[in-house]
Amino acid sequence: MDLQLLVCPFCGGKVRSRWSPWIDGESCWKIEHIDYEAAVAAKCPLEMGGYRDLEELSAAWNERKLEMAFDSFDRIELQRSFNRIAIAIDCHNAIKERKAHALERITDVTSRIQSSANGFGDR
């Protein structure tokens, strides 16, 4: 049987079916990436298996219930949430940079004060 599986909806990688042990130790059909290293590098969260029938696995994989679930979210609110997170990260990074700059200035001023104090005692 020539099984046609859509690419991974998370990372776009090619997948294949495989008969192997699942989480509970029982053998079943599952989906796995063909290029596992690329999927790991892409931090792909794919984990799908537990099917006794190959046709059932194929139908479930190709149906893309995940995409249908995301359609129920308010995409505009989701984008706003992502934007707020991005702004928070930018602010955090700016504060870290300011702290590093302030520390450099304090270190510089402290060393100049120490140099002046050392030179003052020589007079």
Q: Distance between CA 42 and CA 82 in Å, rounded?
A: 19
pLDDT for residue 123 is more than 70? no
Least confident of 11-15, 45-49, 78-82: 78-82
Confidence of residue 82 (pLDDT cuts 50, 70, 90): confident
Cβ 32 vs Cβ 16: under 8 Å: yes
Q: What CA–CA distance (Å, rounded) separates 1 from 28?
A: 17
The domain tally of the chain equals: 2
Q: Write down the pLDDT at residue 14.
A: 92
Please determine, for residue 74, whether its predicted confidence score (pLDDT) is greater than 70.
no
Does 85 share its domain with 47? no
Tens digit of pLDDT for each residue in 51-63? 888 988 888 888 8
Is pLDDT above 80 for 13? Answer: yes
**Residue with structure tokens 């990372």?**
11
- Give the whole-angstrom CA distance, residue 2 versus residue 22: 23
Let me know whether 66 and 90 are in one domain: no
Please, which pLDDT band fits residue 41 given cuts at 50, 70 and 90? confident
> In this structure, is residue 85 part of a structural domain?
yes
- Average pLDDT of every residue of the chain: 80
* Residues 29, 45 within the same domain: yes
The full 3-state SS of 19-54, as one line of letters, equals EEECCCCCEEEEEEECCHHHHHHCCCCCCEEEECCH
According to the model, what pLDDT value does residue 15 have? 93
- Calculate mean pLDDT across residues 74-87: 74
- In angstroms, rounded to a whole number, what is the distance separating the alpha carbons of residues 32 and 105? 53
The parent domain of residue 56 ranges over 15-70
Domain co-membership, 66 together with 79 = no
